[in-house]
A and B are shown apart, each in its own frame.
Chain A
């Protein structure tokens, strides 16, 4: 079966600064891939290239077998952006249900009016992230962890096949992070392919199946088990992160 996301010989630079060099990476159905790397290693840039927010200067990205530039069914990829919680404007009068409903828009054709079945889909997505009771609440009145769940609901409401999260636990306390990763593990078990960009090596312990280490180039790509037993692990993540056994 063809990979859902296929990246070949990808290069990208901001001006003179080369950020990504000769990246080759496939993501297959059912994968739970963590992209690890230090600050400025090109993780977010890679995600933006996959999402079509940036254009590759060299190389190719194929999504579901189609070239990224002409790929139209964007709803097949759910996305939770970096610092999503920090960007929530406390003045913005938007309810939890309204935020989740945004995720349905790419799947609809003009005029994109909401039907009763759409609101049912919104409730289903909220139920999946255990936030159904908060449907009518103003988003900014929720805690960081609850907001993060709402953003996940927005990303999965259109029933995408891939979910991409860019540093989703920034600003969320440790207990909430644990619950959050458990939720991602559950979604992956149900068949959702997940790509998570993180500094947090701890998530590798939990549910991740594949690991990619990025530092301008792809310095490692393999399974969780290989990653944990690799003699070069220290190089990838630093000595203080070496306890990476799955519980």
Chain B
């Protein structure tokens, strides 16, 4: 009975979309955590929320507007940090509060799209359409490809920005790339796990992998595996227990983190 679901197209679509999101988010999240920028993804979800609200208000397709809003916000967050000399999380807090405020005001002014807006907050991976699946997979490929091509530069900049700059690497461009990739990943994730939960996939698999790995390569591979297991395990848990898929994915991810943390304690005991 449970395995029957694996024959349904909607379930397979959910698995494919979720898998690619998890892989992109896990790799990206590792860099964000190590740059002490784990809240950037969470902040950008709030901006994407404002983008969706604007799109629904003007009755246009939400994805491009959310992507534009999150991309621009990522760029301005970097600029504000650089020019205004703020701590990273302060710039994120300013933008995320503003994003949420715009979303709430628009939702209140135009009362008829509240339900639609909520679907972006909580996601619905099992109701994903073909066009959304292809879009998500295409964008996820872009994010994963960029992370592979700039793998060594991104680690160097994350590990020791000053030396990377002295060595002539384009540190500012790499920072902008990472922020843009985060914005794209957030927008892919908003339909799959929802804006409120996408930052969990950005942070939890990476945080779990960091407990065990001794090299960046191993840590990246482990984060990818843990992210993918979270999505596949979470979707199956959702079917078995009749839970919302996005919630089940994040709970599975959290469970994996706890298991890994316990394993680390056992190893060091």
The one of A72, A89, A154 in contact with B168, judged by C-beta atoms closer than 8 angstroms, is: A72
**Bound complex: CA of A136 vs CA of B162, how far in Å?**
24
Interface of A is mostly: loop
Taking a contact as CB atoms under 8 Å apart, the answer to whether A102 and B168 are in contact is: no
Q: Specify which of B149, B163, B216 is in contact with A79 (CB 8 Å cutoff).
A: B163
Q: Does B217 contact A (CB under 8 A)?
A: yes
| Total CB contacts across the A-B interface at under 8 A | 80
Residues of chain B from 161 to 198 with CB closer than 8 A to chain A in the complex: 162-169
Count residues of B near A (Cβ-Cβ below 8 Å).
26
A91 contact set on B, CB distance < 8 A: 34, 210
The segment out of B102-110, B113-121, B150-158, B242-250 that lies at the interface is B150-158
Out of B162, B209, B213, name the residue touching A53 (CB < 8 Å): B162
Nearest-Cβ distance from residue B18 to partner chain A, whole angstroms: 25
Q: How far is the CA of A101 from the CA of B216 in the complex (A)?
A: 12
Task: Tell me which residues across on chain A come within 8 A of B165, comparing CB atoms.
Answer: 53
Tell me the bound Cα distance from A52 to B215 in angstroms. Answer: 30
CB B43 to nearest CB in A, in angstroms, measures: 22
Verify if B25 is at the interface (C-beta below 8 Å from A).
no
The answer to whether A138 and B167 touch across the interface, beta carbons within 8 angstroms, is: no
Question: On chain A, which size bracket covers the interface?
Answer: 20 to 34
> A56-85: contact bitstring with B at CB < 8 Å (1 yes, 0 no)?
000000000000000010110101010010
A81 to chain B, nearest CB (A): 5
Interface members, chain B 205-227 (any A CB < 8 Å)? 209-210, 213-219
- Write the chain B residue with the least CB distance to A101: B152
- Pairwise interchain contact B166-A112, C-beta atoms closer than 8 A: no
What B residues does A240 contact at CB under 8 A? none
Least CB distance from B158 to A in Å reads 8
Q: Are A106 and B215 in contact (CB under 8 A)?
A: no
Q: State the CA gap A51–B166 with chains docked (Å).
A: 6
Q: Is A105 an interface residue (CB 8 A)?
A: yes
Known contacts A106-B167, A136-B215; A92 and B34 CB within 8 A of each other:
yes
A85 to B183, CA, bound (A): 33
Decide: A105 near B218, CB < 8 A? Known: A53-B166, A91-B34. Answer: no
Pairwise interchain contact B152-A105, C-beta atoms closer than 8 A = yes
CA distance A52 to B165 in the complex (A): 8
- Any B CB within 8 A of the CB of A244: no
Q: How far is the CA of A232 from the CA of B22 in the complex (A)?
A: 66
Q: Of B169, B214, B218, which is in contact with the most chain A CB atoms at under 10 Å from its CB?
A: B214
- Set of chain A residues within 8 Å of B6, measured between Cβ atoms: none
Q: Once the chains bind, are A95 and B156 in contact (CB under 8 Å)?
A: no
Contact of B155 among A53, A94, A103, A137 (CB under 8 A): A94
Asked if B160 is an interface residue, CB under 8 A from chain A, the answer is yes
Q: How far is the CA of A112 from the CA of B157 in the complex (A)?
A: 14
A102 in contact with B164 given A89-B34, A92-B34, A114-B152 (CB within 8 Å): yes
Cβ-based interface call for A110 (8 A):
yes
Residues in B with CB closer than 8 Å to A110 are 149
Q: Are A81 and B168 in contact (CB under 8 A)?
A: no
Of the candidates B162, B218, B219, the one whose C-beta lies within 8 Å of that of A81 is B162
- How far is the CB of A71 from the nearest CB of chain B, in Å? 9
Q: Does B5 contact A (CB under 8 A)?
A: no
Instruction: Give the 10 A-B residue pairs with the shortest CB-CB distance, closest first.
Output: A74-B168, A95-B215, A93-B219, A106-B167, A51-B166, A138-B214, A102-B156, A93-B213, A111-B149, A79-B166
Q: Which residues of B contact A (CB under 8 A)?
A: 34, 149-150, 152-153, 155-156, 159-160, 162-169, 209-210, 213-219
Binding site for B on A (CB under 8 A): 51-53, 72, 74-75, 77, 79, 81, 84, 87, 89, 91-95, 97-99, 101-103, 105-106, 110-114, 136-138, 154
A-B contact pairs, 25 of them (CB 8 A): A51-B166, A52-B166, A74-B168, A79-B163, A81-B160, A81-B162, A84-B160, A93-B209, A93-B210, A93-B213, A93-B218, A94-B159, A95-B214, A97-B215, A98-B155, A98-B217, A99-B159, A102-B163, A103-B167, A105-B156, A105-B169, A111-B149, A112-B153, A138-B214, A138-B215
